[in-house]
Copies of this chain bind each other. A is one copy, B any other.
Amino acid sequence: MTRMRRSQARARRSGCPIGIALDSVGDPWTLLVVRDLMFKGATAFHDFQHAGEGIATNVLSDRLARLEAAGIVDKAPDPADARRHVYRLTAKGMDLGPVLVELVLWAARHERTDAPAAVVKAMRHDRDAFLAEVRAGWRAARRKAR
């Protein structure tokens, strides 16, 4: 653990919190994986593969491993099939919810997207309630997994 902390510190580009956050989640795929975990019910490798953007298998493996190393994702054996894994967001991963919501609101305001108007409205007018509901679903799934 100490060794990992030290090597993470070495890899950092600066002490800036934005830079540090982007060292973990600042690439074109990582936050899509977090999105699938948070909003789309993805838990298995193939769930991410079929999430829509066509992520390559090797990229997906790499991003899941990095998310696990960063403490954003937990990996456990699938109780139904020990050759497979179940991926879940940690509390640290769930705390990325506001970042994802702000990305949705920005894109919905400035780009043409498929975001359902009702969801965007819920995010914009009561962001905290929206995120609390997502978090309640996450807690329930974690309890069930134990």
Instruction: Identify which of A9, A28, A52, A100 gathers the most chain B CB atoms within 10 Å of its CB.
Output: A28
B103 A17 Cβ-Cβ under 8 A: yes
With the chains together, A115 CA to B14 CA distance in Å?
11
* Residues A18-36 near B (CB distance < 8 A): 18-24, 26-29, 31-32, 35
B23 A28 Cβ-Cβ under 8 A: yes
B95 A17 Cβ-Cβ under 8 A: no
Does A92 sit at the interface, judged by CB under 8 A? yes
A44: B residues at CB distance < 8 A: none
A27: B residues at CB distance < 8 A: 26-28
Does A54 sit at the interface, judged by CB under 8 A? yes
With the chains together, A114 CA to B9 CA distance in Å?
12
Chain B proximity of A55: nearest CB distance (Å): 9
Set B21, B109, B113: member contacting A107, Cβ < 8 A: B21
With A16-B35, A18-B35 already in contact, the answer to whether A99 and B103 are too (CB < 8 A) is: yes
Chain B proximity of A92: nearest CB distance (Å): 5
Does A60 sit at the interface, judged by CB under 8 A? no
Does A77 sit at the interface, judged by CB under 8 A? no
Kindly list the 6 A-B residue pairs having the minimum CB-CB distance in the complex, ordered from nearest. A15-B114, A17-B107, A13-B53, A17-B113, A21-B103, A21-B107
